[in-house]
């Protein structure tokens, strides 16, 4: 069976900005860029700013893809090429396999009305309208009848937690609420792809946290594909299924947060990520939690099953004398023992991801966490079971 094409695919995309009175040859700029020249070199020799050069990546349906880079790295320019607010100078942007750079104005309008919506850094909201009027804007543009668009807008407002605010003037809303309006406006069109250009960057940390959570929840609920721009690596790692790092208009690395931590493509990425670590030097002990379910080896499979049921989990840690860790038993394993297919000893999985020093820095267990099928068990030097560390807590520990 053929694999479904990615919902969004960017191939060798360039966006060059030439001065208004530019007389020279753009080919020269491309040639230089192909040879690996930096943006600065190209600017000095040709006068052209290569905001985006030779960027390729793809985004899978339902994925939350984060683009990150310093100020001026070309994030905004790149994301505006994805809905053609900027026409790329060269390259392709494929949506469901169709190259939208070849679209006519009318086709682009249709695309923006139905398939791709955008959330802006400062909201880009219409201050002369109330909240409802803003959220319904996209539908109004599509000439959806008034009743229908207001009903839809109300529904979306409920989803983003703005119920009851529909007739508020924008001026009376806080920054966080305005961004919620921005998100609601983008969702009202029921797009397949949501583009978010530094949507949370101007917010203070607590509000930001709130909205990040909200975004993850909305994604869970709607399954939208999201391209999220940020300059904050913590935000990138917290939200992104995969992260692309931009530097001076070029894509340096595209990877999952885990793999990026594990194998940074170069020194630049390493330094970028180092910021994450520097923000908080934590040891395993700090992020360790109590496991949901522990059974003693002497208790046997029956107790294990009961304990798992009462705590609502599908695996339990098995400990021996003096809390020495023996391994993990899963629900299937325990059932197997009860049915007599296995002995209890056989059912215990001994190959548990393990850390035997609670004072290890978290950065050191990232590779382990990335691979592990179970939470990592933490034991002390005497092999006494101390707690567990989940993959999520390892990654979120990098997040302020």
Partner 1 sequence: MGQWLTSFPGIRLHIAEPIDHFVRYINITYGAFFVSSKKLLGAFISAVNALLDLIPWWLAILAVAAISVRCLKSRRKALLYGGMLFMVGLFGYWEMMCETLSIVITAVLFSLLIGLPIGIALAAVKGADTFLRPLLDAMQTMPTFVYMIPAVMLLGPGKVPAVLATVVYAVVPVIRLTSHGISQVDEEVVEASRAFGASRWQTLVKVQIPQAKPTILTGINQTMMMAVAMVVTSAMIGANGLGMEVLIAINRMESGRGITAGLSIVIIAILLDRLTQGLVQAGKEDPQ
Residues that bind ligand ATP (CB under 6 A): 17, 49, 51, 69, 71-77, 231
- Give the nearer residue to Mg ion in terms of CB position, either 46 or 76: 76
Strand partners for 247: 250
Interaction of residue 57 with partner 1, rule CB under 8 A: no
Q: Considering only residues 53, 73, 76, 330, which one is a binding residue for Mg ion as defined by CB under 5 A?
A: 76
Q: Considering only residues 6, 88, 91, 123, which one is a binding residue for partner 1 as defined by CB under 8 A?
A: 123
Taking CA atoms, 321 is separated from 185, 324, 355, 377, in Å, by 59, 6, 19, 17
Instruction: Locate 114 and state its tokens.
Output: 């139905």
Interaction of residue 49 with Mg ion, rule CB under 5 A: no
Interaction of residue 4 with partner 1, rule CB under 8 A: no
How many helices (H) and strands (E) in the chain? 18, 16
Cβ–Cβ contacts within 10 Å for residue 306, how many?
Answer: 13
Work out how close the CB of 176 gets to ligand ATP at its nearest, in angstroms, rounded to a whole number.
20
Binding at 71: pick from ligand ATP, Mg ion, partner 1, none (beta carbon under 5-8 Å per type): ligand ATP
d(CA 275, CA 68): 13
Question: DSSP state, 199?
Answer: T
Query: Looking at 51-59, 113-121, 291-299, 361-369, which segment touches partner 1 (CB under 8 A)?
Result: 113-121
Residue nearest to ligand ATP (CB): 76
d(CA 257, CA 367): 11
Q: Restricting to residues 72-111, which ones interact with partner 1 according to CB under 8 A?
A: 83, 85, 108-111
Binding at 46: pick from partner 1, Mg ion, ligand ATP, none (beta carbon under 5-8 Å per type): none
Interaction of residue 77 with Mg ion, rule CB under 5 A: no
CA dihedral 263, 269, 275, 280 (to 10 degrees): -10
- Give the nearer residue to ligand ATP in terms of CB position, either 75 or 178: 75
Binding at 117: pick from partner 1, ligand ATP, Mg ion, none (beta carbon under 5-8 Å per type): partner 1
Name every residue whose Cβ is closer than 8 Å to that of residue 328 and which is 6 or more positions away in sequence: 315, 316, 317, 318, 348, 349, 352, 374, 377
d(CA 94, CA 11): 8
Measured in residues, the chain has a length of 400
Q: Considering only residues 102, 167, 221, 351, which one is a binding residue for partner 1 as defined by CB under 8 A?
A: 167
Instruction: Locate 335 and state its tokens.
Output: 């059932």
Residues that bind partner 1 (CB under 8 A): 83, 85, 108-114, 117-118, 120-130, 133, 137-138, 140-142, 167, 169, 185, 189
Residues that bind Mg ion (CB under 5 A): 76
């Amino acid at each position: 069976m053929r694999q479904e094409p990615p919902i969004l695919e960017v191939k060798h995309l360039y966006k060059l900005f030439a001065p208004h009175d530019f007389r020279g040859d753009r080919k020269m700029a491309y040639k230089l860029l192909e040879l690996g020249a930096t943006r600065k070199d190209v600017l000095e020799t040709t006068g052209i700013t290569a905001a985006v050069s030779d960027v390729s990546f793809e985004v899978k349906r339902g994925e939350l893809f984060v683009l990150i880079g310093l100020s001026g790295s070309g994030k905004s320019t790149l994301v505006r090429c994805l809905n053609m607010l900027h026409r790329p100078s060269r390259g392709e942007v494929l949506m469901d396999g169709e190259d939208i750079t070849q679209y006519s104005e009318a086709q682009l309008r249709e695309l923006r009305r139905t398939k791709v919506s955008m959330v802006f850094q400062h909201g880009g909201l219409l201050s002369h309208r109330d909240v409802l009027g803003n959220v319904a804007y996209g539908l109004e543009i599509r000439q959806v009848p008034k009743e229908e668009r207001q009903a839809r807008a109300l529904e979306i407002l409920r989803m983003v937690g703005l119920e009851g605010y529909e007739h508020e003037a924008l001026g009376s809303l806080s920054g966080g609420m305005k961004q919620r309006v921005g998100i609601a406006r983008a969702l009202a069109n029921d797009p397949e792809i949501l583009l978010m250009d530094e949507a949370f960057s101007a917010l203070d940390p607590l509000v930001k946290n709130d909205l990040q959570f909200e975004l993850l929840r909305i994604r869970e609920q709607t399954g939208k594909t999201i391209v999220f721009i940020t300059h904050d690596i913590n935000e990138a790692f917290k939200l992104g299924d995969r992260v692309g790092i931009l530097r001076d208009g070029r894509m340096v690395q595209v990877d999952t947060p885990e793999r990026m931590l594990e194998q940074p493509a170069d020194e630049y990425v390493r330094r970028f990520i180092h910021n994450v670590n520097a923000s908080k030097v934590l040891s395993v002990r700090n992020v360790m939690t109590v496991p949901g379910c522990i059974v003693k080896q002497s208790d046997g499979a029956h107790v294990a099953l009961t304990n798992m049921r009462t705590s609502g989990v599908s695996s339990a840690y098995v400990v021996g004398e003096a809390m020495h860790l023996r391994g993990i038993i899963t629900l299937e394993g325990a059932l197997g023992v009860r049915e007599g297919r296995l002995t209890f000893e056989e059912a215990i999985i001994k190959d548990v991801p393990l850390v035997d020093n609670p004072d290890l820095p978290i950065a050191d267990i990232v590779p382990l966490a990335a691979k592990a099928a179970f939470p990592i068990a933490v034991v002390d030097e005497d092999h006494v079971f101390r707690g567990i560390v989940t993959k999520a807590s390892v990654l979120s520990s990098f997040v302020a």
